């Protein structure tokens, strides 16, 4: 006897909900109880169209998010300066002097999820620091947090971050 499954998928970009149901399945292996693997030959999917209200709410949320990002970028630019800000977006990272690692610099990448690399004078990565704000804040604010702490509370960062030492 065929079993049909209904499921919904949340579209992570627009928050639209996709509903789907299976139309056929192949029970795999010995289905005598316990876990059962089900493979679908095909399934039907339908997008629930957004209502005007939902669309309006989504667009408003997107606009608000854009403003938040812009404000966060301005704050970051105000702190690191226009030149460093430009470098961050063009080259993909900026470098900061380290007081604790001899003859090394911190390479903070624009990708806010990336680790901070500790680079020696020969350009070799000697350590990687993994840390991030404990709250979920906009990407430019995450970068600002890393930069400010590395510049003004370096010891605190080194104590908190996870280290991935390279070649030691």
The DSSP string of 17-85 is EEEEEES--EEES--SSS--EEE-S-EEEEEPPPPHHHHHHHHHHHHHHHHHHHHHHHHHHHHH-HHHH
9 Cβ neighbours under 8 A, 6+ residues apart: 17, 18, 20
> What's the closest the beta carbon of residue 87 comes to other proteins, in angstroms?
19
Check residue 105 for interaction with other proteins (CB under 8 A): no
Strands 162-163 and 43-47 turn out to be unpaired
> What's the closest the beta carbon of residue 39 comes to other proteins, in angstroms?
37
> What's the closest the beta carbon of residue 102 comes to other proteins, in angstroms?
20
Check residue 108 for interaction with other proteins (CB under 8 A): no
Contact positions with other proteins (CB under 8 A) in 122-151: 130-138, 141, 144-145, 148-149, 151
Q: Which chain residues interact with other proteins by CB under 8 A?
A: 67-69, 71-72, 75, 79, 115, 130-138, 141, 144-145, 148-149, 151-153, 156-157, 160-162
């Amino acid at each position: 006897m065929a079993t049909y499954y209904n499921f919904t998928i949340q579209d992570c970009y627009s928050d639209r909900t996709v509903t789907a149901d299976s139309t056929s399945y192949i029970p795999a292996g010995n289905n005598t109880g316990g876990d059962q693997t089900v493979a679908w030959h095909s399934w039907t999917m339908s997008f629930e169209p957004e209502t005007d209200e939902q669309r309006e709410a989504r667009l408003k949320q997107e606009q608000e998010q854009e403003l938040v990002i812009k404000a966060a970028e301005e704050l970051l630019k105000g702190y690191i300066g226009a030149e460093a800000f430009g470098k961050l977006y063009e080259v993909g990272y900026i470098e900061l002097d380290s007081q604790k690692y001899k003859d090394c610099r911190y390479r903070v990448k624009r990708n806010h999820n990336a680790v901070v690399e500790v680079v020696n004078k020969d350009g070799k990565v000697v350590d990687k620091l993994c840390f991030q704000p404990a709250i979920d804040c906009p990407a430019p604010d995450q970068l600002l947090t890393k930069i400010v702490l590395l510049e003004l509370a370096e010891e605190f960062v080194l104590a908190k971050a996870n280290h991935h030492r390279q070649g030691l």
